[in-house]
Structure 1
Amino acid sequence: MLANEVNLSLTTPVLRDEDAVFPGENWFFYWKTSASLWKVKLESLVGVNKIYVPINWAFHSDTGDKYDFASERPETDLKKLVDIARECAKEVIFLVPIGPCPFLTNGGLPALLARTPMLDEKGRVVAAVDQEGNLNKLYSFFDPRVYKAYDHFVKALGEYFVTQGIASDIWSMDCCQVTLDYGLVSYLKDHSHVYQQGFSRFLQNKRSEFDESEDPELQNSLDTLDAETEHILHHEFYTMIKSIYLMASQERMSGNWEGEVKVSFLGGGQEDFFKRIHQSDSLVQYGHDLLEGMSLNAITSSSLIPGRLKKGVLGKMLDQLVTHSFVEKHFSKNSFEDESVSQFAPKVYFEVYDLGPEFLPDTIGWADLGLWDYLQKYYSWCYSDMGSNEFSFNEDSHMDRVFFFHGLNMDKGLFHNMLKAFMSGAKIILNRAGLEREFQKKLEAFFIENELDIEKVKLHTTLVNTRLGDGRLLVFNGDDLVDLDEKKAIEFWHRVISTFDLGHLIVIPPEGVQISWKVRSSNTQELQFEEVRRMGIFNPSSYKKKVKFIIPSHFRLLKVVDENKVSFQHGQKEIECELLPEGSLSLDFGVLV
């Protein structure tokens, strides 16, 4: 279909199909149906006990300064929605955006505030195509008028919740997209002239602060901006603006506020835009982005994807991996759950702490050392890309994980927590490249003071390995790996990771096939097993694919579930399956104690 044949309406159309109201993952778009139909709609969600309701700012305010909460339109009555949901035995969790939303007209801004279109780093207008083929242009949240109106809106929303006695949880939602070059990127990111004007004012304030300093280096630093300093300042400015929106939502809705959640929208990337307006969606790409979003600790939303594309294998992936696993695990942290019910959760072997966005893109990170290529090939998304998030170690649930750290972004707090975790039994890999001399000395002193035995192995670099109880610390210099070709880098990591004896069933799928792993505790009939792991095999491609692998001696096949368009054969030690296009199946394995 040609671009000029696509419905590029900039107004929200009146939709009548279920996909419009329930766009996926138990989300409910209350503004797309009559309030008189809410009960009928919610009753149709059989077996669902939580619904996720994003707040549509523009639906409650045409102008940005007056708000409708049941005063004019019944569809703005959120108290009624919560009451109806309770009658239907469903809990409502509200999602309040802290930036543009790709599924809403104007990104969710009231029309009078939608003044400056957002631009990406290449100067292109940022837009998204929704599930009905409508084009939603997104507008900058860096306009001071937008923040002022946003603060008033969340204040009014918070007061409405208090006066109406609404006890439902509220989460601040950061809408994001998975990108080819930059990983998970928030739609708040902007490069428009409004952003540039705000950044210029930010620099002026910085200069004023530095002018008052007696340090000549500080006084001259902003007058001679190098690339690294400018990059750091851009990150600081962006982080400051985001925190302003986040703090506004937290403070104005403090009685119900639970935290921030990142949501990754399938089909919402700039790379997807032209494919989608020509209706050439790639299920393979969506399957990849779904799993990558999960590895980046973001909840995946398919609200932009047409329902017809979710009737097959993509729908199964969303249902099994997101709706009934990742989402439940995330929101159950702050909900009362029946702990006697054992549910599958994503299996994670590795937590990888990478360089934060304040570092220049050409700074050596884990991708440059071949780690991500290795993990994707051998461990099929069984890792969390923690970025520069704060590190914490839980002795009850993290003993089987391996933690990766860079010396380059090490500070006193992280260094202390890393060694404390090691002494508590954590398995840690540290790239000491860029580690400050102060920490190098402290690390050497730590080895001596605790009388730790040091083992050194030469493998493209010098690996320094030590153990303390269940804990293990492996230190190497990543600079020595930068020039390795892809094959040697993967071989390096394979030899290193195999020494941790993680007990993983390694399956290397053919191109286009995705493998997922989930885990749950064994029940009373499975006491011979330490845990039960579910392998999902999905073929979103247009070709027949064959997957074949050896069953390790400590794995026992318990059952085969959710077979669809697949032929399956297994012996005592080997499994082979052939998947037709959009074929899938899941295998449950008991892992022996």
Structure 2
Amino acid sequence: MLTTPVIKDDDLVFPGEGWFLYWKTSASLWQTKLEELSGTTKVIIPINWSFHSDTGDRFDFANEKPETDLKKLSEICKQLGKEVIFLLPVSPMPFLPNGGIPFILSRNHAKNENGVVKAYADGEGNINQLYSFYDPRIFTAFTLFCNKLAEYFSTSGIDGGVWATECGHMNNGEYSSYLEDHSRAFDNGFSRFVQAKKEEGVIGSDGIHADMELSLKKEYQLMIRDLYVQGAEKELETYWQGFKRYGFLLGNSNEVFLRTIDHLSDIEIMDEALDLLGSGIYPSSILLPSRRKKGVFKSFQNKFLSRESVEHFFNDKTLTTSHDYFFKQSFSVKVFYHENSQDKKKYLEESGFIGFCENFFAWDHCFASYKDFEWEDELDSEHQFYYFSGNDLDMKTLSSALRMFMNGINIIIDKRGMNDGIRRRLESFYLENELEIEKIRYLTQIETISMGEGRLFIYDSEELLNIDTKEEKKHQFWSKVFNSLDFDYCEIDAESGIRYAWHERNVGPSELKFDKVRRLNIFNPSSYKRKIKIKYPASLVFQKIIDEQSVEMSNTTHEIELNFMPKGSVSLDFGVISQ
């Protein structure tokens, strides 16, 4: 007997951020569902490997199940004027059974540091166990799948690019990939990796200590990830677009129990999203239950995980004119680090810089890996300061930082951990350009240099460790530093529970008296009344208040006070004027 296909809950098919889960609904309903997806020109389609192959060596692309017909899906999107973005996971995906690995290949469970099988709850409450990507059979099957996928794309004439995608979550303020594993499969591969290092002479006869082992494990993890990425790039050829990272909200396995008793708050979810965005990683709300995507989080999602932000995420270097006037998240301070660093924030914390940023630039500072660092890309960015740690600097990176300074950008360099060759190169830069150095002694030796609009600030945080320096003293140190750099900033005094972050956009034809427009988005995800005071400098002109939800405002000259009811939110627009 024929039956009419049942349309599933929109949240299951469209879990957020422009994603479309094609296997969650009948292929006969694809067009109906996609017609409802308005306001975006892109559809994000994660490729479900296990849905197209049960065994790893036989593949279904519209041969048996109609929902495997990616050609039909891409044609529907094309008819609706939408570009298809295919995501190919190079790590386990927590919302897929077995993490997305074909069932026959699911043999070695991925495990956490306590030897417990890694498992995650999806948005429907289903528990998915993950399997190790360090099993050589998985890698062999993955490259074969990529080959067959490219062959299918070519023979069927699919017009769409494929992005390799690493998935992870926040763990104690750091991004943790689902590739992280402590299984026997990982240990076996890591042992071979260590042996190869010994044969290369990288590891001495005295073996490896605990810190070195952690560093080597991180290096091995990144090497395996890059092997998956390179394998996909080789097989996909012309369909290859690049590599992206996603972070899943409530994606920590430790949160599974807390979810069952509904113990996680909007504050915790929002903090995870802000931490991910501050690390250059796009958050996904796919694991959130539907009840969690309402109220104040919905307001947050509309601003920070909007369809426009998805467009920007996949078009960050080739934005069209129509996107010049939408708000993009901005950060005043950008800190670079090496991706394989176990403790990328260690020196920052010891210098007091990270503590100062968390207080002074709360949710207004971000971290970026050197892996994708190209100094030319930073010339037109919104960042006002860049921070480089000496222990991470090599000749190429130092040269890039100095070029940025010579192009009018503010650079902060910590000499701690800097090798002698880098120090000599820095000194020769002074001499070659006949730069006038202003030297100041305050807790440590400080050197400042000006060139046009650019400022170069150099110090050695090692000296801050060698004296009895309390955190308050370090805070005063950095306050003096930024005051000396003539930085115009908003003084924000927010009560506990308030969350806020900045966006900015280019000016429109009626706003030419401004350089740009900045928007301060403020949320009270707590269950209590909260207050925030904002003192803004003369370089900012308050324009308007928008999207008020359960909030009252009072303002005087260059000062705004907001009183929030629980779950309230609001946005404030400021025009920026050059001083």
Q: Which category of TM-score, normalised to the shorter sequence, fits these structures? A: over 0.9
Residue in structure 2 matched with residue 564 of structure 1 by the alignment:
549
**Is contact 2:166–2:245 with CA below 8 Å preserved after alignment?**
yes
Distance in 1, matches of 2:204 and 2:76, equals 59
Tell me if 1:504 matches 2:489: yes
Residue in structure 2 matched with residue 7 of structure 1 by the alignment:
none
- State the AA in 2 paired with 1:314: F
Residue in structure 1 matched with residue 14 of structure 2 by the alignment:
22
Residue in structure 1 matched with residue 353 of structure 2 by the alignment:
371
Task: Quickly say closer, same or farther: Cα 1:340–1:301, change in 2 above 3 A.
Answer: closer
Within-5 A mapping of 1:437-586: 437-482=420-465, 484-586=469-571
Task: Quickly say closer, same or farther: Cα 1:387–1:495, change in 2 above 3 A.
Answer: farther
- State the AA in 2 paired with 1:571: T
Query: 1:217-271 deviations in whole A, cap 9, x for unaligned?
Result: x287156223344334323322221111001111111212111111010000134
Moved more, 316-325 or 46-55: 316-325
Tell me if 1:186 matches 2:177: yes
Tell me if 1:37 matches 2:29: yes
Residue in structure 1 matched with residue 275 of structure 2 by the alignment:
292
Q: Which ranges in structure 1 are unaligned for 5 or more consecutive residues? A: 1-13, 211-217
2:313 is paired with a residue whose SS is: helix
- State the AA in 2 paired with 1:392: E
Question: How many residue pairs were aligned?
Answer: 570
Task: Quickly say closer, same or farther: Cα 1:505–1:250, change in 2 above 3 A.
Answer: same
- State the AA in 2 paired with 1:385: F
Moved more, 511-520 or 489-498: 489-498
Task: Quickly say closer, same or farther: Cα 1:222–1:82, change in 2 above 3 A.
Answer: farther
Residue in structure 2 matched with residue 129 of structure 1 by the alignment:
121
Residue in structure 1 matched with residue 227 of structure 2 by the alignment:
244
Distance in 1, matches of 2:372 and 2:443, equals 30
Task: Quickly say closer, same or farther: Cα 1:421–1:48, change in 2 above 3 A.
Answer: closer
**Is contact 2:530–2:564 with CA below 8 Å preserved after alignment?**
yes
Task: Quickly say closer, same or farther: Cα 1:108–1:473, change in 2 above 3 A.
Answer: same
Tell me if 1:204 matches 2:186: no
Q: Decide which of 145, 153, 160 is 2:145's aligned counterpart.
A: 153
Q: How many Å apart are 1:193 and its aligned residue?
A: 1.0
Distance in 1, matches of 2:223 and 2:545, equals 50
**Is contact 2:109–2:183 with CA below 8 Å preserved after alignment?**
yes
- State the AA in 1 paired with 2:76: I
Moved more, 257-266 or 275-284: 275-284
Q: How many Å apart are 1:63 and its aligned residue?
A: 1.2
Q: Decide which of 371, 374, 393 is 1:392's aligned counterpart.
A: 374
2:447 is paired with a residue whose SS is: strand
2:189 is paired with a residue whose SS is: helix
1:568 is paired with a residue whose SS is: strand
**Is contact 1:509–1:515 with CA below 8 Å preserved after alignment?**
no
Q: Decide which of 105, 113, 118 is 2:105's aligned counterpart.
A: 113
Moved more, 562-571 or 576-585: 562-571
Distance in 2, matches of 1:498 and 1:131, equals 47
Query: 1:109-150 deviations in whole A, cap 9, x for unaligned?
Result: 111111122112333322211111111111110000111111
Residue in structure 2 matched with residue 162 of structure 1 by the alignment:
154
Within-5 A mapping of 1:46-125: 46-125=38-117
Query: 1:527-575 deviations in whole A, cap 9, x for unaligned?
Result: 1111111110011111111112223222222121111121222233321
Task: Quickly say closer, same or farther: Cα 1:255–1:220, change in 2 above 3 A.
Answer: closer
Distance in 2, matches of 1:565 and 1:48, equals 29
Distance in 1, matches of 2:271 and 2:485, equals 27
Residue in structure 2 matched with residue 214 of structure 1 by the alignment:
none
Within-5 A mapping of 1:320-335: 320-333=303-316
2:153 is paired with a residue whose SS is: helix
Distance in 2, matches of 1:49 and 1:526, equals 27
Residue in structure 1 matched with residue 3 of structure 2 by the alignment:
none
Residue in structure 2 matched with residue 311 of structure 1 by the alignment:
294
Query: 1:196-225 deviations in whole A, cap 9, x for unaligned?
Result: 011112233344x43xxxxxxx28715622
Q: How many Å apart are 1:195 and its aligned residue?
A: 0.3
Q: How many Å apart are 1:367 and its aligned residue?
A: 2.5
Distance in 2, matches of 1:468 and 1:143, equals 54
**Is contact 1:299–1:326 with CA below 8 Å preserved after alignment?**
no
2:500 is paired with a residue whose SS is: strand
Distance in 2, matches of 1:463 and 1:41, equals 60
Distance in 1, matches of 2:289 and 2:570, equals 23
Q: How many Å apart are 1:461 and its aligned residue?
A: 1.2
Residue in structure 2 matched with residue 213 of structure 1 by the alignment:
none
Task: Quickly say closer, same or farther: Cα 1:544–1:25, change in 2 above 3 A.
Answer: same
Distance in 1, matches of 2:12 and 2:265, equals 21
**Is contact 1:99–1:188 with CA below 8 Å preserved after alignment?**
yes
Distance in 2, matches of 1:293 and 1:45, equals 25
Distance in 2, matches of 1:325 and 1:44, equals 17
**Is contact 2:332–2:382 with CA below 8 Å preserved after alignment?**
no
Distance in 2, matches of 1:319 and 1:340, equals 16
Distance in 1, matches of 2:319 and 2:417, equals 44
RMSD value over aligned CA atoms? 2.1
Distance in 2, matches of 1:117 and 1:477, equals 46
1:333 is paired with a residue whose SS is: coil
Task: Quickly say closer, same or farther: Cα 1:219–1:85, change in 2 above 3 A.
Answer: closer
Residue in structure 2 matched with residue 10 of structure 1 by the alignment:
none
- State the AA in 2 paired with 1:490: H
